[in-house]
């Protein structure tokens, strides 16, 4: 009896896997690509599930390379034939893998359709029980056309290529993330179960329709093709499906794309809408059950950039609770924007935790324990599955940071700092402050540096520039007057010092922060 020869592709480069997958109309030649894997370990899990006839594998891969994979496959599944993909520089690897029973090899730099097909057919002939079944269709099957579309490859110019399999004029995508994510040994069974549940619900709500599975690692996705008038019933079907399936798995989330009128739009809708719903928006709405663009709330107004410099300076001055409160308020607003890139969101919070620890240490607080534990918070944020989880980690970190011990500041130093904060707008010099406190100027300079981690002049300039920045952000005072207000008689010197501390001129700072 004739059957398709099942091929599993193993390569750590996605573009290589997709290139091979779409090199030829495989079914017309008697082959079927049954799956892909990014390394040897993933391949072993998929072999148990898919039982391919031929393994087409790269040699150099992370986690488990092709040589080790070949040895294990020939030991545990001797009936599976192995073809190696290699470059010229990997020939020593290829020679050693031939000792494990490799059937043939193909050089990647010269990979061509006809050569690949020749090697595959030659290898298939070695399998006694296999007689290749070439597809009776001259064109590609609907499964391969769907695969091409979602992988970004061009479709045939003629709609007749899919008209028989997709007889109706309207489309939508319905899908969910498989429990446990991609690559699990039970993916196929879980996808079959969820697809059956979905089709059962669709039959209840739709009269005329067809469904086809869309190949999506870690996902179960259905392409629903129906009459335009029936699409209004699809959200109701999806809602009932989501409510029913969450009784069995409370964390399961479904996504429904908007309708589209042409099969040629499938790839765009899949990549730009469905995947975004399942991989981006679910991070912000993990309890939604069912997500679609139609049910998303209005996007909030864009936030101004968080002033990290101002925040850390407040911490260094001991204004911890107000600074933490401002950060909490900003963070709560920040995570409401579901269009924010998840990676950038996590990086933002990790960066703030790092700067918080650093600033508290510079303020003289004991941050040893916090400094050690911040890496656990970093890991937690990196692995967080929702924006709410990230906010919870931030809150826990700030609670712990708030318990750091107060610095032990010398009483004389406290009086010195208070005096500077009260008189920074006056012509404040080291000699005048030393005279006020009855210190020798040289002694005061050494004493100040030893107790504040910065020199007297640097500290005074920083206080003045912080006040100038506040006036630039919040008031309409002319820039030419601000320097004088914070203690600089010379405007050009004020501009020079301001740029040294902030990296920009006063005019540019005002433009960026108002």
DSSP 404-469: SPPP---HHHHHHHHHHHHHTTS---HHHHHHHTT--HHHHHHHHHHHHSS-HHHHHHHHHHHHHH
Among positive and negative, which fits the CA dihedral 425, 431, 436, 442? Answer: positive
448 vs 430: CA distance, rounded Å: 10
pLDDT score, position 239: 92
Instruction: Write the CATH number for 253.
Output: 3.30.70.270
368 vs 357: CA distance, rounded Å: 9
pLDDT score, position 281: 94
In a domain, 133, yes or no: no
pLDDT digits (tens, 9 = 90+) for 390-403: 999 999 999 999 88
Co-location of 389 and 476 in the same domain: no
pLDDT digits (tens, 9 = 90+) for 42-95: 999 888 888 899 999 988 888 888 888 988 998 898 889 898 887 655 555 555
Co-location of 285 and 255 in the same domain: yes
Co-location of 75 and 153 in the same domain: no
Q: What is the CA radius of gyration of the chain?
A: 33
Q: Which residue has the tokens 């597809």?
A: 135
HSE, side-chain direction, 13 A CA sphere, residue 413 = 17
Given a cut of 70, the residues of the chain with pLDDT beneath it are: 1-2, 87-101, 109-111, 131-140, 180-187, 406-409, 514
pLDDT score, position 181: 55
Co-location of 149 and 288 in the same domain: yes
pLDDT digits (tens, 9 = 90+) for 486-505: 999 999 999 999 998 888 89
Co-location of 353 and 471 in the same domain: no
In a domain, 137, yes or no: no
Q: What is the mean pLDDT of the chain?
A: 85
In a domain, 406, yes or no: no
Of 401, 431, 464, which residue constitutes the final position of a domain?
401
Of 124, 158, 184, which residue constitutes the final position of a domain?
124
pLDDT score, position 269: 95
Helices and strands in the chain, H and E counts? 24, 10
Number of domains in the chain: 4
Instruction: Write the CATH number for 447.
Output: 1.10.10.60
DSSP conformation class of 402 = T
pLDDT score, position 114: 79
Co-location of 366 and 473 in the same domain: no
In a domain, 129, yes or no: no
Co-location of 463 and 419 in the same domain: yes
In a domain, 132, yes or no: no
Query: In whole angstroms, how far apart are CA 240 and each of 19, 146, 170, 222, 254?
Result: 39, 27, 21, 16, 11
Distance of CA 191 to the CA centre of its chain: 24
pLDDT score, position 496: 93
Co-location of 288 and 166 in the same domain: yes
Instruction: Write the CATH number for 96.
Output: 3.40.50.2300
pLDDT score, position 137: 47
pLDDT score, position 186: 53
Expressed as residue numbers, the domain containing 340 is 308-401
Of 63, 94, 124, which residue constitutes the final position of a domain?
124
In a domain, 302, yes or no: no
Co-location of 220 and 256 in the same domain: yes
Co-location of 82 and 223 in the same domain: no
Co-location of 324 and 457 in the same domain: no
In a domain, 300, yes or no: no
């Amino acid at each position: 009896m004739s059957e398709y020869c099942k091929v599993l592709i193993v390569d750590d480069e996605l573009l290589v896997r997709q290139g091979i997958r779409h090199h030829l109309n495989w079914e017309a030649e008697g082959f079927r690509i049954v799956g892909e894997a990014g390394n040897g370990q993933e391949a072993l899990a998929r072999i148990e599930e898919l039982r391919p006839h031929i393994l087409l594998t790269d040699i150099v891969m992370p986690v488990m390379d092709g040589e080790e994979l070949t040895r294990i496959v020939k030991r545990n599944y001797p009936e599976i034939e192995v073809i190696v993909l290699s470059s010229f520089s990997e020939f020593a690897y290829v020679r050693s893998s031939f000792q494990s029973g490799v059937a043939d090899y193909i050089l990647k730099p010269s990979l061509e359709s006809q050569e690949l097909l020749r090697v595959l057919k030659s290898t298939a002939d070695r399998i006694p029980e296999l007689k290749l079944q070439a597809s009776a269709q001259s064109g590609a099957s609907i499964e391969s056309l769907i695969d091409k579309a979602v992988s970004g490859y061009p479709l045939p110019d003629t709609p007749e290529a899919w008209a028989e399999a997709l007889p109706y004029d309207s489309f939508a995508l319905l899908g969910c993330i498989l429990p446990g994510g991609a690559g699990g040994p039970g993916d196929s069974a879980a996808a079959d179960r969820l697809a059956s549940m979905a089709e059962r619900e669709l039959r209840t709500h739709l009269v005329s329709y067809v469904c086809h599975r869309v190949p999506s690692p870690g996902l179960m996705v259905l392409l629903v093709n129906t009459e335009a008038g029936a699409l209004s019933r699809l959200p109701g079907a999806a809602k009932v499906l989501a409510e029913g399936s969450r009784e069995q798995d409370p964390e399961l989330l479904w996504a429904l794309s908007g309708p589209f009128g042409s099969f040629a739009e499938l790839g765009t809708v899949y990549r730009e809408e469905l995947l975004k719903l399942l991989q981006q928006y679910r991070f912000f709405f993990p309890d939604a059950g069912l997500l679609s663009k139609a049910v998303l709330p209005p996007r909030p107004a864009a936030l101004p950039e968080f002033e990290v410099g101002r925040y850390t300076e407040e911490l260094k001055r001991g204004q911890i609770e107000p600074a933490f409160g401002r950060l909490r308020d900003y963070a709560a607003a920040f995570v409401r924007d579901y269009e924010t890139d998840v990676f950038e969101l996590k990086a933002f919070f990790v960066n703030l935790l790092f700067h918080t620890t650093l600033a508290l240490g510079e303020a003289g607080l004991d941050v040893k324990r916090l400094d050690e534990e911040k890496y656990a918070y970093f890991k937690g944020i990196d692995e967080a599955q929702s924006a709410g989880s990230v906010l919870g980690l931030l809150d826990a970190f700030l609670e712990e940071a708030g318990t750091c011990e107060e610095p032990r500041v010398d009483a004389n130093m406290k009086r010195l700092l208070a005096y500077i904060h009260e008189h920074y707008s006056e012509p404040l010099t080291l000699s005048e402050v030393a005279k006020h406190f009855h210190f020798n100027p040289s002694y005061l300079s050494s004493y100040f540096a030893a107790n504040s981690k910065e020199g007297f002049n640097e500290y005074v300039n920083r206080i003045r520039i912080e006040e100038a920045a506040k006036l630039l952000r919040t008031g309409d005072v002319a820039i030419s007057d601000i320097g004088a207000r914070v203690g600089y008689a010379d405007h050009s010197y004020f501009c020079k010092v301001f740029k040294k501390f902030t990296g920009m001129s006063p005019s540019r700072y005002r433009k960026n922060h108002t």
